[in-house]
Chain A
Amino acid sequence: MSKEPVAVVGIGQTKHVAARQDVSIAGLVREAARRALDDAELTWVDIDAVVIGKAPDFFEGVMMPELYLADALGAVGKPMLRVHTAGSVGGSTALVAANLVAARVHGTVLTLAFEKQSESNAMWGLSLPVPFQQPLLAGAGGFFAPHVRAYMRRTGAPDTVGSLVAYKDRRNALKNPYAHLHEHDITLEKVQASPMLWDPIRYSETCPSSDGACAMILTDRAGAARSPRPPAWMHGGAMRSEPTLFAGKDFVSPQAGKDCAADVYRQAGIADPRRDIDAVEMYVPFSWYEPMWLENLGFADEGEGWKLTESGVTELEGDLPVNMSGGVLSTNPIGASGMIRFAEAALQVRGQAGEHQVDGARRVLGHAYGGGSQFFSMWLVGAAPPAS
């Protein structure tokens, strides 16, 4: 049986900031959705279904906010699904929406992910005690720092690599009008002099807390034919999960991430990701995750990822640009962060990425992960429709 090809014809983001005090949650999501519709030159009546995602409801203190947001997203009278897969949710949400099109259940679907972190306190939302389970109360950085240490020990990477990633991503963010952090006076020395939070992770190597939303319009072949601007075509998409904690789990390079990437590459006919993929929007909330994921995603052999970063390959002008938008290190509305990766990948192959456009980007990977490196979602989009 054949699947319907899925095209991205509309993309909208809010300008991500620490606190959007001028809008409600409904106002925030509507802004992104309107921009996506405008990009696709469609109206609310063209949308058959809405798929929405965000990270835990505790982050805003609203239980199942999709119910309250039905009006703001023009979903009344339509199907509305709410996805929640931890930090990977933005990516998973896009994939659930894409499946509705691929399965020919709907022709055109609006998908959106958001977080309005200023409404509450994400650190508090993550620090509620869990009975009978290992406490992870040190915040996300405290959980991930030991795994970064393990990576450094395993590969012999010099301790300067993390700051290179942060310096690169924050400079890239200056070219992205929607990015949260615009640090015009950023220097490598400033990153390296920033306070140590969770050794080896410094303050400037961590993601900010952002308010923001990201929306996409996904459609079928007929919808793509009517698109006023070049669509991005989905060539592969997959999700993989593994338990948070168990003996034998490789926190440095989780099997679920490797399997997820392999599935996407198989669907997209990618034989050698390093050669066949032009750029990557990668979920890097702490700078060291760039070299770690370069290996996990098959762009470098085990132990070699940091060498790609150090040699400048992942710079915007490099041979394999990573996080052209500035990435999660520059913008982190948690629930939306994965979808922003997916959307930025689509912008690149549409040639619509503005100042942070990679020349000739034809195939770009969008990547998201969540939980204790246990949930993965990825898609590969191309400028040309998929074969077959």
Chain B
Amino acid sequence: MRPTRDIAVVAFGQTDHRRTSDEHSEVEMLLPVLHDVLDRTGLRTADIGFTCSGSSDYLAGRAFSFTMALDGVGAWPPISESHVEMDGAWALYEAWTKLLTGDADTALVYAYGKSSPGSVRDVLTRQLDPYYVAPLWPDSVALAALQAQALIDAGETDEPALAGVAARSRADARTNAHAQLRGPVPQGDYLVRPLRTGDCPPIGDGAAAVILAAGERARDLCERPAWIRGIDHRVEAHSLGVRDLTDSPSTRLAAERAGAFERPVDTAELHAPFTSQEVVLRKALRLGDSVCVNPSGGPLAANPVMAAGLIRIGEAAARVHRGESDRALAHATSGPCLQQNLVAVLEGDVR
């Protein structure tokens, strides 16, 4: 669909992503990022028309964890606010629809996740079918390994090619001051065959925030707004047994609906926490070798769960802001083996 109103990402901020952040609560982690995006636009909390966040109680290990994060926004007088128990990319989607209705002209979107207090591999098993699958505790790396092996068996990739994805991502991350893993990283031993530690994302804590604005407001707040030309998301069946793990039809459909295939993109920020998932996404998104994929280093360089998808949109937008991209694609994922996928297309004004 064609959006009825021009809406752009006008500011993006993120933390330095780290293996542990024991000394900071979620609110303390979030606060500097919120101030960062507000400072970039000169807006104050009271100026924001709508606020939406993404996070997960299971990472915090307690119910209603997001209610305290609101303290970091400074929500007084009362604000128009909502929350998705999903990656922040979906919070951005909710904010985008809110701006489309005309009820607000600006939106603050944020997301955060601390994986360090627990074992994120164990925690993510609780996402699975609670009656038949979760009791077996298959973890996120094991499920990604199933997907990787299916790709290798289908002749779509091999282990050296996967190592190449890892090396390229971490090399690109050298210029990203926020990344957790930068520069040469050993491919390491098998974690779950065929995936080695180098094929897997680092475990870490982090937060990110984005400001959206509509129409002329966006031009006032940002020299070169990253216009959201299209955004869509789709979900697939949960059960791995009924899906072809070497393909991602939901990504392809979301990309189609977002208009990604109408003209080539020059940049793609992909939320592929495992090297093998980049192979799946490149195919679904028809990304040729000329497209600059994950110049930030992607989730292989920093993967703060629940914020990593929003960061892909933010990184893609920031490249448009800086004039390094004219048409960028951003992708976010949720669930085991790329079950749910969101695609956004961002463009700068013609120069």
Contacts and interface: CB of A to CB of B under 8 A. Distances in A.
A39 interface: no
Contacts of B51: 241
A103 B101 contact: yes
Interface string B30-61: 00000000000000000000010000111001
Nearest to A55: B63
Contacts of B61: 128
A129 B83 CA distance: 22
A239 B81 contact: yes
Given A64-B334, A240-B79, A371-B67, A24 B84 contact: no
B190 to A, nearest CB: 27
Contacts, number: 195
Given A61-B130, A103-B100, A67 B93 contact: no
B214 to A, nearest CB: 9
B90 A92 contact: no
Nearest to A87: B64
A75 B76 CA distance: 37
Contact of A374 (B67, B94, B235, B238): B67
Interface in A160-207: none
Interface in A300-332: none
B64 A86 contact: yes
Interface string B74-104: 0111111111111000100110011011110
Contacts of B98: 99, 103
Contact of B97 (A24, A82, A105, A256): A105
Contacts of A63: 56-58, 123-124, 126-127
Interface in B109-157: 123-124, 126-131, 134
A243 interface: yes
Contacts of A239: 80-82
Contacts of B78: 240-242, 254-256, 259-260
Contact of B234 (A62, A67, A77): A77
B250 interface: yes
Contacts of A95: 82
A82 B79 contact: no
Nearest to A105: B97
Contacts of A85: 82-83
Contact of B4 (A1, A66, A71, A96): A1
Nearest to B253: A77
Given A86-B67, A128-B63, A100 B235 contact: no
Given A104-B100, A242-B78, A64 B238 contact: no
Interface residues of B, number: 63
A83 B334 contact: no
B80 A84 contact: no
B82 A92 contact: yes
Nearest to B81: A241
B153 to A, nearest CB: 25
B266 interface: no
Given A25-B130, A58-B57, A81 B94 contact: yes
Given A76-B235, A243-B75, A102 B101 contact: yes
Contacts of A246: 71, 76
A44 interface: no
B16 interface: no
B127 A71 contact: no
B221 interface: no
A69 B339 CA distance: 12
A57 interface: yes
Contacts of B81: 239-241, 375
Contacts of B103: 3
Please indicate which of the listed interface residues B64, B68, B79 has the most CB atoms of chain A within 10 Å of its own CB: B64
Contacts of B101: 3, 99, 102-103
Contacts of B5: 1
Interface in B323-341: 334-336, 339-340
Nearest to B77: A255
Nearest to A133: B68
Given A62-B126, A244-B67, A238 B85 contact: no
A77 B237 CA distance: 8
Contacts of B70: 241, 243-244, 374
A7 to B, nearest CB: 16
Nearest to B123: A63
B66 interface: yes
A10 interface: no
B75 A70 contact: no
A232 to B, nearest CB: 19
B199 interface: no
A59 interface: yes
B72 to A, nearest CB: 10
A81 B76 contact: no
Contacts of A243: 70-71, 75-76
A83 B85 contact: yes
30 contacts: A25-B130, A56-B64, A58-B58, A58-B63, A63-B127, A64-B85, A64-B86, A64-B127, A67-B127, A77-B249, A79-B234, A80-B340, A82-B90, A84-B84, A85-B83, A86-B64, A99-B97, A104-B4, A128-B63, A130-B62, A238-B80, A239-B80, A240-B78, A240-B81, A241-B75, A241-B78, A241-B79, A242-B79, A244-B71, A246-B71
Interface of A: 1-3, 24-25, 55-71, 75-86, 92, 95-96, 99-100, 102-105, 119, 125-126, 128-133, 238-244, 246, 254-256, 259-260, 263, 371-372, 374-375
Q: Which 7 A-B pairs have the closest CB atoms?
A: A56-B63, A103-B100, A256-B78, A84-B85, A63-B126, A241-B81, A63-B58
Given A103-B97, A105-B97, A239-B81, 12 more contacts: A1-B4, A62-B130, A63-B127, A64-B56, A66-B86, A67-B335, A70-B340, A77-B235, A77-B249, A240-B78, A244-B67, A244-B71
